[in-house]
Amino acid sequence: MKLPYERPTLRKLTVGPLSKVGPRASARPVAELEGVPVPELLARFGSPLFVLSERQLRRSYQAVARAFSTRYPQVQLAWSYKTNYLNAVCRVFHQEGAWAEVVSGMELEKALRNGVPGPQILFNGPGKSRADLLRAAEIDAVVHLDNFDELHLLLGVTAGRPQRPRVAIRVNLDAGLYPQWDRFGFNLENGQAWQALGQVAAAAGRLELVGLHCHLGTFIMQPAAYGVAATKLAALALRCQHELRLPVRYLDLGGGFPSANTLKGSFLPGPDAVPDLDEYAAAVSEALLGAGFRPEALPLLVLEAGRALVDEAGYLLGTVLATKRLPDGRRATVLDFGVNLLFTSYWYDHHISPVGNFSEQTEPTVLYGPLCMNIDVVRESIVLPLLAAGDQVVVHRVGAYNLSQWQQFITLRPNVVLLDLQGQAHVIREAETLEYVQQLERVPGHLSTEHNG
Ligand SMILES: *Cc1c(COP(=O)(O)O)cnc(C)c1O
């Protein structure tokens, strides 16, 4: 086989201390996903293309469930809809046994249509409307209260109705993390959470307290923080039982567990930097088991893991459109997907693999997307073999947040396929068309004549 010609380059070597972790393992081509050749997927469904692996979705779910349920007797996962609310993805998790964690009226309806019974829907978020609260009460979802106005609104909208809404109090607390997420729910340390519980107790004929909730943040790398949060929530639950005679059936520790992605600025690559899920599970269960509950009255432990369940299962496949040399000598590669589809490239240094074989020669490269916008940078600097127009690439761990936060901007969003357990590809969201994008637009009559030159 004749190797392609590659022009020689001069590279400046910087003298400095040796890296503690040694040289990065060189890139390996990724020619197939679950045994299905990438070029075949791109030929069939177009480029770019999102691919989700059902096998990995189930594997990640079972890993989280196992880590906690081998350490604590009663565990329930609630799938965080906003992390990826494609119905096929939600249904995989519901089949595995997940409840739904939703943060808007729209997500609540989605969960109902995915067959989740109302009582298994946990309704979080600071933006619940009067109509949302009424709907939640009708279907007997649990309203995770965020603020006093919401508590009073809920009492108002259900006054004179037969329902006795089930509620949990969302608590924010100091778990040793900085910056502390203190904008959601009631603060523990300043007594606000206790005050809210007092109001719920006073309205006990009209509300039923079922849980306490705390979601510390996202991509949290300190398992110990979950131990602190669990200890504080458990103490609050016990105080509730003793002083207000309100039993608390579940403690919800939220989500926030990291995936194996590499955060920008991280010294180590994600897979080496991120603590094992077992450490989080151990911290939480030790705290709960040691909190002083009677063994037969241990609360249910609810977890709302999002990212940790879905990130690993998602891939974005794409194609090189062009390469160029920047005035400062850097190599630049233009891809057919950008930050419109890969929202998480603002936070992650995504792992990106070439699909085809390549030579040993590499060069730091900036990866641009196709948008005519200066911010459209997929990777500021990545060491890659010399890709050429038409070469294909795979971006790894893109299942979380991209498919809900992507933007219809400048261009149309592509197909999303699910590879089932047999490796069959199913379109789970079709590529957009101009008709779809314009469906909601209206042109006023005086603008409707075609063109008057
Ligand atoms: C977003 C969110 C989650 C999921 O967070 P991850 O960091 O993706 O695990 C869970 N609970 C609440 C209340 C959320 O807002």
Please give the torsion angle defined by the CA atoms of residues 293, 298, 300 and 302, in that order, rounded to the nearest 10 degrees. Answer: 40
Give 152 Cα–ligand 1 centroid separation in angstroms.
25
How many C-beta atoms surround the C-beta of residue 294 within 10 A? 6
Q: How far is the CA of 252 from the centre of ligand 1 (A)?
A: 11
Ligand 1 centroid – CA 255 distance (Å): 5
Other residues' Cβ atoms within 10 Å of the Cβ of residue 4: 9
* C-alpha 215 – ligand 1 centre gap (Å): 7
Nearest 5°: the CA angle 127, 133, 139 is 130
Question: Among the atoms of ligand 1, which is closest to the Cα of residue 170?
Answer: 13
- Residue 145: the pLDDT is 98
Give the pLDDT of the chain (453 residues) as one tens digit per residue: 777 676 676 666 666 665 555 555 557 899 999 999 999 999 999 999 999 999 999 999 999 999 999 999 999 999 999 999 999 999 999 999 999 999 999 999 999 999 999 999 999 999 999 999 999 999 999 999 999 999 999 999 999 988 899 999 999 999 999 999 999 999 999 999 999 999 999 999 999 999 999 999 999 999 999 999 999 999 999 999 999 999 999 999 999 999 999 999 888 999 999 999 999 999 999 999 999 999 999 999 999 999 999 999 999 999 999 999 999 889 999 999 999 999 999 999 999 999 998 877 888 999 999 999 999 999 999 999 989 999 999 999 999 999 999 999 999 999 999 999 999 999 999 999 999 999 999 999 999 887 665
The ligand 1 atom at the shortest distance from the C-alpha of residue 307 is: 8
From the CA of 101, how far away is ligand 1's center (Å)?
Answer: 8
DSSP 208: E
Atom of ligand 1 nearest to the CA of 256: 7
Q: Which residues, judged by CB distance below 6 Å to any ligand atom, belong to the binding site of ligand 1?
A: 80, 82-83, 101, 103, 124, 215, 218, 254-257, 304-308, 400
Asked if 392 and 51 touch (Cβ cutoff 8 Å), the reply is no
Instruction: Please provide the DSSP assignment of 369-436 as one string.
Output: -SSSSTT-EEEEEEEEE---TT-EEEEES--SSHHHH----SS----EEEE-TTS-EEEEEPPP-HHH
Residue nearest to atom 3 of ligand 1 (CA): 255
Which atom from ligand 1 is nearest to the alpha carbon of 217? 7
Mapping DSSP onto H, E and C, the string for 289-339 reads HCCCCCHHHCCEEEECCCHHHHHHHEEEEEEEEEEEECCCCCEEEEECCCC
Structural domains of the chain in order of their starting residue, each with its CATH number: 32-51+312-434 (2.40.37.10), 54-309 (3.20.20.10)
CA of 337 to the centre of ligand 1 (A): 26
Cross-strand bridge partners of residue 167: 143, 209
Which atom of ligand 1 approaches the CA of 305 most closely? Answer: 9
Tokens in use for 450? 């075609």
Q: Which amino acid is at 375?
A: I
Taking the model in full, what pTM does it have? 0.94
Out of 218, 252, 274, 280, give the residue to mutate to test ligand 1, the one with the largest number of ligand atoms within 8 Å of its CB. Answer: 218
Q: How much is the pLDDT for 7?
A: 67
Q: What is the reported pLDDT for 357?
A: 87
Ligand 1 atom nearest 309 alpha carbon: 9
Output Rg (C-alpha) for the chain, integer angstroms.
25
Quick one: DSSP state of residue 250?
E
Name the token pair of 389.
Answer: 């127009």
With contact defined as beta carbons under 8 Å apart, do 162 and 186 qualify?
Answer: no
Q: Is the peptide bond before 119 cis (omega within 30 degrees of 0)?
A: no
Which contacts of 37-45 are long-range, i.e. CB under 8 A and separated by 24 or more positions?
38/317, 38/355, 38/392, 38/394, 39/355, 39/392, 41/317, 41/417, 41/425, 42/317, 42/319, 42/392, 44/425, 45/414, 45/415, 45/417, 45/425, 45/427, 45/431
pLDDT of residue 18: 59
Point out the ligand 1 atom lying closest to the alpha carbon of residue 124: 13
How many A from CA of 192 to the centre of ligand 1? 22
Q: Are 398 and 50 in contact (CB under 8 A)?
A: yes
Which pLDDT score, from 0 to 100, does residue 305 have?
98
The residue among 386, 305, 423, 407 whose CA lies nearest residue 60 is 305
In angstroms, what is the span from residue 121 Cα to ligand 1's centroid?
14
Task: Among 99, 172, 215, say which to mutate for ligand 1: greatest number of ligand atoms within 8 Å of CB.
Answer: 215
Report the separation in Å between the CA atom of 325 and the middle of ligand 1, taken as the mean of its atom positions: 41
